């Protein structure tokens, strides 16, 4: 018969220990919370700026991958068109041989050499001199043309297959780069959300003071433009003041930094490449003292580009949440060099 004992109640000493442990845990949690104070407005701004800089670098790599994708798609389309035309030519040549074979059959049978023409592997038969001796000069040339067409088509198909593989890899890379951009921007927004409404307002006002609207008077000095095209590019960019920054934007409704410079120079008849990493090679590198309005100016280890506007001012698309504006070079970041297109 089973015995029914009442569970042993914890002793007073044990209760005391448990209570003390819980109290210590609460105290440690409280101390940890106090040891990790909420970051200040300026600290948040600094971290957000860094995230925006990282997002811009990721955007540049995304733009490069996107440009590569578009180039591959164009090359693949061209190759596929060439293959289709080549196959049509090959079919026409084979049809001409078939017509000749039909005529010979009606006149008493097919010449053995023509049977070789109609084979799926004429290369093998060209190596047989005894067969060639039986062919007319025109027939030999036709067969050689077929062979060359077959070789060309095989090469084009192989090239297209390789580019399709590259395209698949590039699309995977593109997806990865886009996710990195979105991740950086999400982190920045999360940090901004830790600020109070008043703190966010203060940051917005500070940012607005750095900006210049189209109606504001900007002291650009009397410096001569870098060139006629540089002057035209700068003038074109000025018409876009107020347009929002959007990652991957190339205009005319929105821009990222290199999208703005590319668009501006396109209006001046110059085709720049797409990213900051390639635009640095679109002209001659110059130092700060040599800058003239219209020159490209690069910042933050090639993470950002704008157009030099004169008197230490840059016309650029800064980062998410801002718009195309003039801004002092001293507030943008670490100047790298200029490029005269």
Q: Are 254 and 244 in contact (CB under 8 A)?
A: yes
Strand partners, 339: 285, 296
Q: How far is CA 137 from CA 97, 121, 132, 159, 179, in A?
A: 14, 20, 9, 33, 63
Which of 45, 243, 304, 340 is flagged as catalytic? 304
Number of H helices, E strands in the chain: 11, 6
Full strand arrangement of the beta sheet holding 296-299: 284-286, 335-340, 296-299, 304-310, 313-316, 325-328
Helix (H, G, I), strand (E, B) or coil at 314: strand
DSSP state of 244: B
Which of 316, 324, 325, 338 is flagged as catalytic? 316
Interacting residues of 276 by C-beta distance below 8 A, sequence separation 6+: 60, 257, 258, 298, 302, 303, 304, 305
Answer yes or no: 4 catalytic.
no
What's the token pair of residue 269? 């008849």
Give the helix/strand (H/E) hosting 62: helix 41-106
Which of 48, 257, 291, 307 is flagged as catalytic? 257
Provide the pairing of β-strand 284-286 with 304-310.
Answer: unpaired
User: d(Cα 262, Cα 267) in Å, to the nearest integer?
Assistant: 9
Answer yes or no: 304 catalytic.
yes
Nearest to 313 by CA among 223, 202, 206: 223
Other C-beta atoms closer than 10 Å to the C-beta of 58 total 22
Q: How far is CA 71 from CA 65, 74, 77, 158, 190, in A?
A: 10, 5, 10, 18, 36
Q: Which residues are catalytic?
A: 257, 304, 316
């Amino acid at each position: 018969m089973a015995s029914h004992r009442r569970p042993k109640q914890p002793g007073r000493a044990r209760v005391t220990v448990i209570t003390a442990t819980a109290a210590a845990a609460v105290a440690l949690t409280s101390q940890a919370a106090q040891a990790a104070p909420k970051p200040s407005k300026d600290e948040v701004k600094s971290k957000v700026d860094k995230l925006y800089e990282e997002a811009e670098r990721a955007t540049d790599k995304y733009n490069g991958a996107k440009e590569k994708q578009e180039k591959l798609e164009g090359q693949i389309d061209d190759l596929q068109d060439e293959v289709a035309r080549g196959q049509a030519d090959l079919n026409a040549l084979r049809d001409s041989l078939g017509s000749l074979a039909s005529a010979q059959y009606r006149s008493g049978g097919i010449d053995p050499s023509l049977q070789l023409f109609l084979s799926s592997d004429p290369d093998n038969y060209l190596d047989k001199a005894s067969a060639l001796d039986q062919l007319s000069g025109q027939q030999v040339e036709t067969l050689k043309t077929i062979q060359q067409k077959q070789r060309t088509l095989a090469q084009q198909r192989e090239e297209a297959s390789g580019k399709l593989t590259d395209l698949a890899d590039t699309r995977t890379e593109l997806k990865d780069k886009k996710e990195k951009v979105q991740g950086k921007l999400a982190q920045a927004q999360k940090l901004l959300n830790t600020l109070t409404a008043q703190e966010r307002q203060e940051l917005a006002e500070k940012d607005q003071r750095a900006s210049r609207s189209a109606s504001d008077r900007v002291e650009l000095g009397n410096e001569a433009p870098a060139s006629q095209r540089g002057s035209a590019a700068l003038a074109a960019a000025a018409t876009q003041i107020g347009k929002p920054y959007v990652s991957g934007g190339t205009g005319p409704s929105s821009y990222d930094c290199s999208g703005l410079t590319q668009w501006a120079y396109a209006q001046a008849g110059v085709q720049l490449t797409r990213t900051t990493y390639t635009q640095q090679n679109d002209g001659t590198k110059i130092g700060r003292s040599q800058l003239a309005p219209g020159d490209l100016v690069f910042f933050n280890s090639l993470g950002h580009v704008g157009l030099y506007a004169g008197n230490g001012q840059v016309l650029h698309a800064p980062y998410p949440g801002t718009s195309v504006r003039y801004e002092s070079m001293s507030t943008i970041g670490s100047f790298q060099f200029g490029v005269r297109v």
